């Protein structure tokens, strides 16, 4: 493989957030597939055919199969990953598509298998990639959030390693293999898996980077783990419960808050089932949330989501902190960016960056211009003492 081809395989950065679908969440996930290694021309062909999650799976699988026949393994891998995304946990195809993505990932990134370690955790293990650097400028520990896999984030780890850092990229409870194969559900006490990672590698001075819901998880870990010296919320999630209500809409938000206060479990479950029939984002969010959190009902899921808030722990964070947000994030209201800023009373330093549409980075986790976000993070790490 030539250096030029290898470079493209590792990074393949694209710039642009494309209007491909009228549904915000479907549009975002199509852009995410492009940012992770897909092709705009493939996605443009199928976008108009997608009306629901059945269409989603069929169309993404179709372009994955086409990419495979043409020898485009990275494209195929990322399309299988995208296809899996909206498949409900009750569908056996969910695990089949995940396994196909993993199989193809290791064909694209042959060295990744040598970098992978299994770290004992409770009665199971946490998978991680350990990307070493003989001339390391520091150690960056990375984790995802609500729905990412470490394989999907490998490009980020590679980039940071190649920019001079030792990198550990891991999955915790409720994520990727730990959820799908090891059956461990997510915990809001993210300091627990982080402690296990730091103990395993004997790290005592690390930069912690959490993506998406990891914007809560990473800050939570930093509040209890002094071995973290810098923490990056990429992007911020000040209050996950409020994020879910934001997605559901104003009237539903008021109803849910009232019913939680009155403990009206049965009524809340019925309302959510009705909303889920008419709102694709809520449908996926609640089903996926019950799966991730190990909840049996929407009420139980919503109740658990209330634990994922930095409101009570932000004043315990004393490290250098970087907060990132997108000005048009369809998941997270921009008000949370300012609430998180206000809550961090005792940090060593605080840097905040709100990305814009003009930069093609206004969406969630800056899909549309990943390199801009990656480079901003690296510059912050290197200029913050």
Question: Looking at residue 248, what is its pLDDT?
Answer: 63
Which pLDDT score, from 0 to 100, does residue 149 have?
95
- The pLDDT of residue 136 is 95
What per-residue confidence (pLDDT) applies to 31? 95
Long-range contacts of 260-266 (CB under 8 A, 24+ apart): 260/302, 260/303, 260/306, 265/297, 265/299
The candidate with the shortest Cα–Cα distance to 221, out of 195, 201, 185, is 195
The per-residue pLDDT for 259 is 81
- Whether residue 5 is predicted with pLDDT greater than 50 in this model: the reply is no
What pLDDT is stored for residue 8 in this prediction? 40
* The pair of three-digit structure tokens given for residue 113, joined into one six-digit string: 């298998």
Tens digit of each residue's pLDDT (9 = 90 or more) over 250-274 = 666 777 778 888 888 888 888 888 8
Cα separation, 269 vs 177, in Å, equals 29
> Which pLDDT does position 250 carry in this prediction?
64
**Mean of all residue pLDDT scores within the chain:** 92
Q: Regarding predicted confidence, which is higher, 171 or 330?
A: 171
Domains of the chain listed by start with CATH number: 3-108 (1.20.1440), 115-239+308-383 (3.40.50.1820), 240-305 (no CATH)
Mean pLDDT, residues 339-343? 98
pLDDT tens readout for residues 301-320: 988 999 999 999 999 999 99
Mean pLDDT computed over 324-349: 96
pLDDT value for 212: 96
Mean of the pLDDT values across residues 58-83? 97
Residue 107 predicted with pLDDT over 60: yes
Q: Is the pLDDT of residue 12 over 80?
A: no
User: Is a pLDDT exceeding 90 seen at residue 169?
Assistant: yes
SS (H, E, C) the chain: CCHHHHHHHHCCCCCCCCCCCCCHHHHHHHHHHHHCCCCHHHHHHHHHHCCCHHHHHHHHHHHHHHHHHCCCHHHHHHHHHHHHHCCCCCCCHHHHHHHHHHHHHHHHCCCHHHHEEEEEECCEEEEEEEECCCCCCCEEEEECCCCCCCCCCHHHHHHHHHCCCEEEEECCCCCHHHHHCCCCCCCCCCHHHHHHHHHHHCCCCEEEEEECCHHHHHHHHHHHCCCEEEEEEECCCCEHHHHHHHHHCHHHHHHHHHHHHHCCHHHHHHHHHHHHHHCHHHHHHHHHHHHHHCCCCHHHHHHHHCCCECCCCHHHCCCEEEEEEECCCCCCCCHHHHHHHHHCCCCCEEEEEEECCCCCCCCHHHCCCHHHHHHHHHHHHHHCC
Torsion, Cα of 327, 332, 333, 339 (10° steps): -100
- pLDDT, position 6: 32
User: Left, alpha or beta for 174 (phi > 0: left; psi -120 to 50: alpha)?
Assistant: left
pLDDT above 90 covers what percent of the chain?
79
């Amino acid at each position: 493989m030539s250096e030029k081809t290898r470079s493209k395989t590792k990074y393949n950065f694209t710039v642009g957030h494309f209007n491909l679908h009228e549904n915000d969440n479907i549009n975002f996930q199509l852009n995410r597939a492009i940012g992770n290694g897909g092709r705009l021309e493939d996605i443009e062909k199928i976008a108009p055919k997608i009306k629901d999650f059945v269409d989603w799976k069929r169309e993404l699988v179709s372009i994955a199969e086409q990419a495979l026949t043409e020898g485009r393994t990275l494209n195929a891998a990322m399309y299988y990953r995208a296809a899996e995304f909206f498949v409900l946990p009750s569908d056996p195809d969910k695990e089949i598509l995940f396994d196909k993505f993993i199989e193809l990932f290791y064909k694209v990134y042959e060295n990744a298998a040598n970098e992978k370690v299994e770290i004992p955790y409770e009665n199971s293990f946490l998978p991680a990639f350990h990307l070493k650097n003989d001339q390391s400028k520091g150690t960056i520990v990375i984790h995802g959030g609500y729905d990412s896999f470490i394989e999907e984030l490998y490009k980020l780890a590679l980039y940071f390693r190649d920019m001079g850092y030792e990198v550990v990229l891991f999955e915790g409870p409720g994520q990727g293999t730990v959820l799908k194969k090891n059956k461990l559900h997510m915990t809001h006490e993210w300091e627990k898996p982080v402690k296990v990672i730091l103990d395993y590698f004997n790290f005592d001075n690390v930069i912690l980077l959490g993506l998406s819901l990891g914007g809560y998880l990473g800050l939570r870990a930093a509040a209890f783990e002094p071995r973290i010296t810098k923490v990056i919320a990429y992007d911020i999630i000040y209050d996950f419960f409020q994020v879910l209500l934001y997605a559901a809409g104003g009237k539903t938000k008021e109803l849910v808050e009232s019913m939680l206060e009155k403990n009206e479990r049965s009524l809340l479950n019925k309302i959510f089932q009705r909303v889920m029939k008419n709102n694709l984002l809520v449908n996926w969010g609640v089903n996926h949330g019950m799966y991730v959190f190990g909840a049996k009902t929407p009420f139980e899921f919503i109740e658990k989501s209330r634990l994922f808030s930095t409101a009570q722990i932000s004043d315990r964070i004393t490290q250098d902190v970087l907060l990132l947000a997108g000005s048009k994030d369809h998941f997270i209201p921009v008000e949370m960016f300012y609430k998180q800023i206000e809550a961090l009373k005792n940090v060593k330093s605080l840097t905040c960056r709100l990305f814009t549409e003009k930069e093609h980075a206004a969406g969630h986790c800056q899909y549309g211009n990943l390199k801009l976000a990656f480079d901003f993070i690296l510059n912050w790490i290197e200029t913050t003492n």
